[in-house]
């Protein structure tokens, strides 16, 4: 029996009894021990928990970068674990967006090219040139939306941490994903920049209507999402949302 609430809206993600373990130093590490999760379209869910508790592993499973040892996973109502690898790659490309703590921009590409890359992957030259203008306009609009229109031609090493994360957010949104997975998106940023990125993330999340699963240690950010789940002992638990100022709840866990 799951102790995670099921949303009333149609589920963007539905995970049941996800298990994942790793072997390390001859030991079996049970990271996820039957994770149940439902995230409705447009819903924002924060996942909190101790470092090394499996939050990123959960995101990798939800993002189809990794496969669980057991369990079931549906994305927009489709079973994705039974799908062939190519189909999972396409789903990840078209329906899932990632935002990482370390931004993970490709250093050789400009901000604009980093965003465009999402649209280029898997596109044949014919498709690409047919949709090039449209995609370019979309990219520029996104960069404008994240406040980086003027720095589109800059390489990542010429951008600040906050600016890099804005590019990463624009990249994740280019294909209008159904699921946005954010892995500690403000973890590398100072207080003020973190607040700006949080604001931006929440705004674009609302604008795009994508489901969002956000792993964070920031109680303030977690408190601004629809639900907060805690990953503990390899399982997810619903917890009470922290106060808006992020001062209450979960002090021992986060």
Partner 1 sequence: MDLLLLAWRYLVARPITLVATLSVTVGLMAIVIVDSVMSGFLGEQRALIRALAPDVTIAVDGFDEPAARALLDRVRAADGVRSASPRVEVAAMHRAKGVVALVGAPRIGDSYFVNLIGLDAEELTGPLRHVLEATPTRGERPEISHFLERSLVPRADEPFWFDPEDPFWAQRLPVERRFDDELEPILFGRPLAYRFGYEPGTVVTIATMAGKPEPGVTLKPRTRDFVVVGTFATRDTNFDVTHAVVPRARLVDFAALDAPIQELALSVDGEPAAMRDRLATLLADARLAPGAIETWEDRRRLLLGAVESERRVMNVAMFFVVIVATFSLFVTLHQMVRRKTRDIGVLAALGSSRPRAGLLFLVCGLIVTLAGSLVGLAAGMGLAHWLNPLLDLIERFTGWRLFAGHMFRFDELPVQVDLSRLLGYAAVSIGCGTLFTLLPAWRAARLDPVEALRHE
Q: Which residues bind partner 1 (CB under 8 A)?
A: 60, 63, 65-66, 85-86, 89-90, 92-94, 96, 98, 100, 104-109, 113, 117-118, 120-125, 128, 171
Nearer to partner 1, 39 or 96 (CB): 96
Please, which residues bridge with residue 21 across strands? 30
- Minimal distance, residue 118 CB to partner 1, in Å: 5
- Minimal distance, residue 56 CB to partner 1, in Å: 9
Nearer to partner 1, 3 or 134 (CB): 134
CA 9 to the chain's CA centroid: 20
Residue 211: helix, strand or coil by DSSP?
Answer: strand
Nearer to partner 1, 129 or 203 (CB): 129
Nearer to partner 1, 146 or 249 (CB): 146
- Longest CA span, the chain: 55
- Minimal distance, residue 104 CB to partner 1, in Å: 5
Site of tokens 């539905």: 14
- Minimal distance, residue 122 CB to partner 1, in Å: 6
Tell me the CA end-to-end span of the chain in Å, nearest whole number: 25
Closest C-alpha to 42, from 199, 212, 227: 212
Closest C-alpha to 216, from 248, 183, 241: 183
């Amino acid at each position: 029996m799951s102790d995670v609430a099921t949303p009333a809206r149609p589920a963007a993600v539905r995970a049941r009894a996800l298990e994942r373990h790793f072997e390390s130093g001859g030991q079996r590490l049970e990271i996820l021990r039957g994770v149940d999760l439902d995230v409705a379209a447009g819903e924002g869910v924060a996942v909190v928990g101790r470092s090394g508790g499996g939050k990123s592993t959960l995101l990798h499973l939800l993002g189809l970068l990794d496969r669980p040892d057991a369990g079931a996973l549906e994305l927009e109502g489709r079973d994705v674990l039974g799908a062939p690898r190519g189909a999972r790659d396409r789903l990840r490309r078209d329906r899932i967006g990632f935002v990482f703590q370390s931004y993970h921009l490709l250093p050789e590409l400009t901000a604009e090219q980093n965003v465009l890359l999402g649209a280029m992957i898997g596109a044949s030259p014919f498709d690409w040139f047919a949709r090039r203008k449209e995609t370019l306009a979309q990219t520029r609009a996104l960069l404008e939306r994240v406040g980086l229109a003027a720095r589109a031609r800059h390489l990542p090493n010429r951008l600040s941490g906050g600016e890099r994360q804005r590019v990463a957010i624009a990249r994740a949104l280019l294909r209008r994903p159904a699921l946005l997975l954010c892995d500690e998106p403000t973890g590398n940023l100072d207080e003020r920049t973190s607040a700006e990125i949080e604001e931006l993330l929440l705004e674009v999340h609302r604008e795009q209507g994508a489901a969002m699963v956000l792993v964070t240690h920031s109680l303030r950010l977690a408190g601004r999402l629809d639900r907060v789940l805690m990953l503990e002992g390899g399982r997810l638990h619903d917890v009470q949302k922290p106060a808006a100022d992020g001062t209450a709840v979960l002090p021992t866990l986060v």
